[in-house]
Amino acid sequence: MNGASGRRVLVLNGPNLGRLGSREPDVYGSTSYEGLVEACTALGTELGFAVEVRETNDEGELVRWLHEAADGALPVVINPGAFTHYSYAMRDAAAQRTAPLIEVHISNPYAREEFRHTSVIAAVASGTVAGFGIGSYRLALRALAEELGG
């Protein structure tokens, strides 16, 4: 499923992100998950990307999506959610990347509980964008366009 013409990009979201808009709006804002999808696909089109936004609460599914990206040399923007802090399986899958991979977070993990200060993904990512709300995804997509020479 390519959607708009352009380079295919996966925007992958981990646990609880499908609950945006209702989940802790003081931390994650009031934009719904549907609003996130619309923002990512609209900016993607502007940047010449065919953006596919996905969300799962299943660690194995996220790992399979990272394998798909590695096998297809697909750039990735990923918000691993809670998996950020402890999923070595996801870290190992992300390390197999064959295209840029940018980690994003809606909130600033360093301004929150101490367990959120560690990311096992960051060391294998091209970069990390955090703390700008839904804007973190926009910044990541723009950084991806830069990385890809667009």
Write the CA distances from 111 to 11, 27, 115, 116, integer angstroms: 24, 11, 11, 9
Q: Has residue 28 got a pLDDT over 60?
A: no
59-104 per-position pLDDT tens digit: 999 999 999 999 999 999 999 988 888 799 999 999 999 999 999 9
Sign of CA dihedral 23, 26, 30, 36: negative
| 142: phi then psi, degrees, rounded to nearest 5 | -65, -40
Distance, in Å, from the CA atom of 56 to the CA atom of 43, rounded to the nearest integer, reads 22
> What global pTM score does this model have?
0.85
Q: What is the C-alpha separation between 113 and 115, in angstroms, rounded? A: 6
Q: Identify the pLDDT of residue 3.
A: 42
Residue 104: beta bridge partners? 129
Class of domain 7-145: alpha beta
* Dist CA 38 CA 98 (whole Å): 26
Q: Where are the alpha helices (DSSP H) in the chain?
A: 25-28, 33-47, 59-72, 88-94, 135-147
Provide the residue ranges of all domains of the chain, joining segments of one domain with +: 7-145
Is 19 annotated in some ligand binding site? no
CA distance linking residue 31 with residue 13, whole number of Å: 15
- Among residues 28, 88, 110, 117, which one is catalytic? 28
Estimate to the nearest angstrom the gap between the alpha carbon of 101 and the chain centroid.
Answer: 8
Q: Is 106 annotated as a binding-site member?
A: yes
Q: How confident is the model at residue 111, as a pLDDT? A: 61
Q: Is 126 annotated as a binding residue?
A: no
Let me know if 28 is a catalytic residue.
yes
Looking at residue 73, what is its pLDDT?
97
For residue 136, pLDDT over 90 is answered with yes
Is 67 annotated in a binding site? The answer is no
Select which of 105, 110, 117, 137 is catalytic: 105
Best CA proximity match to 123, nearest among 94, 83, 87, 80? 94
